Amino acid sequence: MTFSSLFRSLPISLLYCILLIPIPLYFYWGTVNQLGPDPLRFLEHKYGELGLIFLLITLSISPLFKYAKINLMSYRRCIGLVAFYYIVSHICVYFFLDIGLSIDILLSDLQKRYYIIAGFFAFITLIPLALTSNNFALSKLNIKTWNRIHSFNYIAIVLSIFHFILMSKTWTGELYFYTGITIFILILKIKSTKFYKKLSTYSKADISK
Amino acid sequence: MKILKYSDVTPHNLYLNRRKFVEALGLTSLAFVATPTTAKPSYSTSAKPNTIDEITNYNNFYEFGTSKTDPAKYAHSLTTDPWEIIFDGVSQNKKRFDLPEILKGKAIQERIYRLRCVEGWSMVIPWIGFPLRDLINELEIDNNAKFVAFETVYRPKEMRGQKRATLDWPYREGLTIEEALHPLTFIATGLYGNELPNQNGAPFRLVIPWKYGFKSIKSINKISFMKEQPYTTWSSESPREYGFYSNVNPNVDHPRWSQATERVIGEGLFGERRKTELFNGYVEEVGDLYKGMDLKKYY
C-alpha cells in the first residue's frame, strides 16, 4: 500500500477532527495558563500561523498531483475549510480577547493599520470560497464560475503573507520560509495559466524563426 | 494601594544572594560591593512585579534569535566573566575597566520599574544595580560631550543570532547626556536579588523606564561620550518607526500599530489591556527633560 493510498483510506470526518483539535486544545491551554507569559499573543499567532499553513497545503495539493503524482485531491476541500476555521478562530481571538470587543479600536485599526487591512481583505476573499466548498454549491454553480471563485485563494494567500510581513519587526526565518513557499506556489500557478503557455509558445516561435 | 514589602520582590535571602552575585563577578571579598540601599520610594513603582519565570522566558534579545523564547534557550553560551567595558570620549588614561573595577564602591540598590515594549506589552521588573550617573561622575568625560552611545558585545560565536543579518550588528543605543545623568537611568547587574540572567542582558545592561524597552540596551561592553547624536540600531533600521528618543507616549502611534494601550504580561488570556501612560508614568520625574519639545516630531 503506497503512502497516498494509505492516506486516502482515512475517512474525511476523522481528518476534520484531527486537524481541528488544536483549536480547542490551545484555547484550553490558554485558560489554564500553559501558553507562556503572553498567552493571548501566543494563541492569536498560533491560530493565524496554522491558518496560513493549511492555506498553503490547500494550494500545494494541485501542484503535488501534477508534478509529483501524489493524489490528495479528495482532501482539498477539507483542508481548505480547516484553514478557514483557523482563520476565523484567529480573528475571534483578535476581536474578543485582544481588542476586547471594542468597535472603536476595530474601526481605527481598519483605517490605519495596513497589516489589519491586508488581513481583513484576506478573510473577506475567503468567505465565498468557504460558502461554496460543498456539494450543493458545486451542483448549482457553473464549473467555470466555481473555479474562478476558488482561484481567489491565490489572492488570499498573497494578502495573508502581506499581513504577516507588515506586522513583523524584522525578516525572521519563519517569514522567509512562508514567503518563499508562497512565491514557489505562485510561480507554479503562473506557469500553468493559459496566458503563460501562450506567451511561451510565441517566444519559442520567435526563436525558431 | 498595596504597600510592597522588600521581601515581596526579594524572595531569597539577600545576604546569600549578594554573596552569589559577588562570586559571579569573580570577586573574593564582599568589600567591593556596598550594602544595598533602599531607593527613594518614588523611583520604584508600587505595581506588583512579574514572576521570575515570566521575566526570564519572554525576552527580546535578537542576538540569540528573534523569538521571545530564544534568549532563554541560547543565552547561556555567552561568557559574562571576565567582562570588560571600554570607554571612549574620556580624557583619562585608563579607558578599559573590568566589571569588578566598575562595581567597586557603587551603592547597589533595587529599582522596581515598569518596562513598556514598543510592541505593545508591559512588565514590572525588580532590577538590582546602580544609577548610571554614579558611573559617569567618576569619569573624566570630554567637555563638549552631548550624547552617550552604548554598544552590545559582538560575539557571533557565542551569540547565534549575530550570525544572521537580522539587524546591523553590534546593537547600538544612545541617550542625550541629560538623559544619561537622570537619576532614573539605571545600570542593572542583577534581577530579583540575584545576579542578572544572561537572557536579561548580563552582566551589565541599561534600564531607562520611561523609554520603550529597546532603548535599554543589554550586555554592554562599550560606552562612548560624543558631540553628535550617535547611531542607534532601530532608528537606523526604520527611521519612520523608531526615533532616537523613543519615549513611551500613548499619543504617538507606531506607524503600523497603536501605542495607546498595552497588554500586561502575567494577566493571562482574559487580562484587560492597560492604558499606556506618557513617559511610562514618569512625567513628574522626566517631563522637564522634554519641556517645549514637539513629541510628535521627536518621537
Digitized pLDDT (tens) for each residue of chain B, 299 residues in all: 444 444 444 444 443 444 445 444 444 444 444 445 554 556 999 999 999 999 999 999 999 999 999 999 999 999 999 999 999 999 999 999 999 999 999 999 999 999 999 999 999 999 999 999 999 999 999 989 999 999 999 999 999 999 999 999 999 999 999 999 999 999 999 999 999 999 999 999 999 999 999 999 999 999 999 999 999 999 999 999 999 999 999 999 998 899 999 999 999 999 999 999 999 999 999 999 999 999 999 99
ipTM over 0.95: no
For the segment A151-201, what is each residue's pLDDT rounded down to a tens digit? 999 999 999 999 999 999 899 999 999 999 999 999 999 988 888 888 877
CB contact (8 A) between residue B269 and residue A31: yes
Give contacts of A162 with chain B, Cβ < 8 Å.
none
* Least confident among A56-70, A72-86, B15-29, B204-218: B15-29
Confidence at residue B17, expressed as pLDDT on a 0 to 100 scale: 46
Q: Which of A26, A38, A111, A116 to mutate to test the interface with B (most CBs of B within 10 A)?
A: A38
The pTM for the full model equals 0.85
Host H or E run for residue A13? helix A12-20
Question: What amino acid occupies position A205?
Answer: A
Please give, rounded to a whole number of angstroms, the shortest distance from the CA of A178 to a CA of chain B. 16
**Cis? peptide before B183, omega within 30° of 0:** no
How close, in Å, is residue B258 to chain A by CA atoms? Answer: 8
Q: Which three cell numbers stand for residue B203?
A: 552582566
Torsion, CA A173, CA A179, CA A180, CA A184, rounded to 10:
160
| pLDDT exceeds 50 at position A87 | yes
Residues B270, A97: C-beta atoms closer than 8 Å: yes
The two beta strands, B37-38 and B109-116, are parallel
Going from N- to C-terminal start, the domains of chain A cover 3-204
User: Considering the domain boundaries, does residue B1 fall inside one?
Assistant: no
**Cβ-based neighbours of A46, under 8 Å, separated by 6 or more:** A22, A26
* Closest CB from A109, A114, A170 relative to B167: A170
Taken in order B160, B162, B167, B171, is the CA torsion positive or negative? positive
How many C-beta atoms surround the C-beta of residue B143 within 10 A? 8
Residue window 42-101, chain A: list those with CB within 8 Å of chain B: 43, 97-98, 100
Q: Which residues of A touch B273 (CB under 8 A)?
A: 100
What is the pLDDT, as a whole number, of residue B154?
98
The partner residue sitting opposite B57, judged by closest CB among A36, A40, A115, is A36
Separation of alpha carbons B12 and B66, rounded Å: 32
A170 part of contact set with chain B, CB < 8 Å: yes
Distance between A24 CA and the closest CA of chain B, angstroms = 14
By CA distance, what is A39's nearest residue in B? Answer: B269
Report how far Cα A51 is from the mean position of its chain's Cα atoms: 6
Q: For all residues of chain A together, what is the average pLDDT? A: 91
Peptide bond into B126 cis (omega under 30): no
What was the pLDDT predicted at B239?
Answer: 94
Q: Is B64 part of any domain?
A: yes
**Which residues constitute the domain of residue B146?**
6-290
- Residue B244 forms part of a structural domain: yes
The pLDDT of residue B28: 41
With beta carbons under 8 A apart, name residues in chain A contacting B166.
170-172
Q: Which residues of A touch B50 (CB under 8 A)?
A: 37
CA–CA separation, A15 and A123 (whole Å): 23
Q: What is the pLDDT of residues B216-263, one digit of tens each?
A: 999 999 999 999 999 999 999 999 999 999 999 999 999 889 999 999
| Residue type at position B191 | L
Point out the residue among A31, A36, A100 whose CB comes nearest to the CB of B58: A36
Under a CB-based contact definition with an 8 Å cutoff, are residues B285 and B211 in contact? no
Tell me the chain B residues in contact with residue A100 when contact means C-beta distances shorter than 8 Å: 272-273
Report the pLDDT value the prediction gives residue B269, as an integer from 0 to 100.
93
User: B58 vs A38: CB contact, 8 Å cut-off?
Assistant: yes
pLDDT score, position A202: 78
Q: Does the beta-carbon distance from A109 to B258 stay under 8 Å?
A: yes
Size of interface A-B (CB pairs under 8 A): 61
B159, three cell numbers? 551569540
Number of domains in chain B: 1
Closest CA to B164 of A175, A136, A75: A175
Nearest chain B residue (CA) to A170: B166
Name residue, grid cell 534557550.
B73
